[in-house]
Amino acid sequence: MLMRTDPFREMDRIVQQLSGTSGTWSKPSVMPMDAYRQGDAYVIAFDLPGVSTEAIDIDVERNMLTVKAERRPTGKSDGVQMELSERPLGVFSRQIMLADTLDTEHIEADYDAGVLTLRIPIAERAKPRKINIGGESGRKQISG
């Protein structure tokens, strides 16, 4: 149901993790995700811990799903000295080509415990249906 648009994005993500660089608007970091089918819907879950819902942007244009998010540093007050900073900051993005069999008009999005979950219904035209053969004339009738 999904097509990866850039096979080297995963390698970029690993290099960014090892080098400690954060994503920018011109070159965002990749966010980890899971994708699976559950009943009559396709589910995609993105890990975005520490990101507020206001900092998440979800767009669909034709069959291209784009999710962007930004995690900013927490406000530092006077007298605070950072001892360790391992949580990635910056801009995160993921683009996914969705199959024509998905109903992009009815995508639902939920955000809970740092996980953005998108539910995309399977389009009616893509669901299996019975084809009945009519009487002696051999006419076929599609039911669905």
Question: Strand 115-121 to strand 131-133: parallel, antiparallel, or no bridges (unpaired)?
Answer: unpaired
The single-letter code of the amino acid at 129 is R
pLDDT tens-place values along the chain, 144 residues long:
555 555 566 666 566 555 555 565 556 778 889 999 999 999 999 999 989 999 999 999 989 999 999 988 776 777 777 777 777 788 999 999 999 899 999 999 999 999 999 999 998 777 777 888 887 665 555 555
Q: How many other C-beta atoms lie within 10 A of the C-beta of residue 127?
A: 11
pLDDT at residue 130 in the model = 83
Give the list of residues 6+ apart from residue 85 with CB closer than 8 angstroms, or none.
none
Token pair recorded at residue 97: 């080509």
**Cβ–Cβ under 8 Å, residues 47 and 75:** no
87 phi and psi angles, rounded to 5 deg: -75, 125
**Cβ–Cβ under 8 Å, residues 64 and 95:** yes
Token pair recorded at residue 139: 């006419």
**Cβ–Cβ under 8 Å, residues 98 and 120:** yes
- Residue 111 CA to residue 45 CA, distance in Å, equals 9
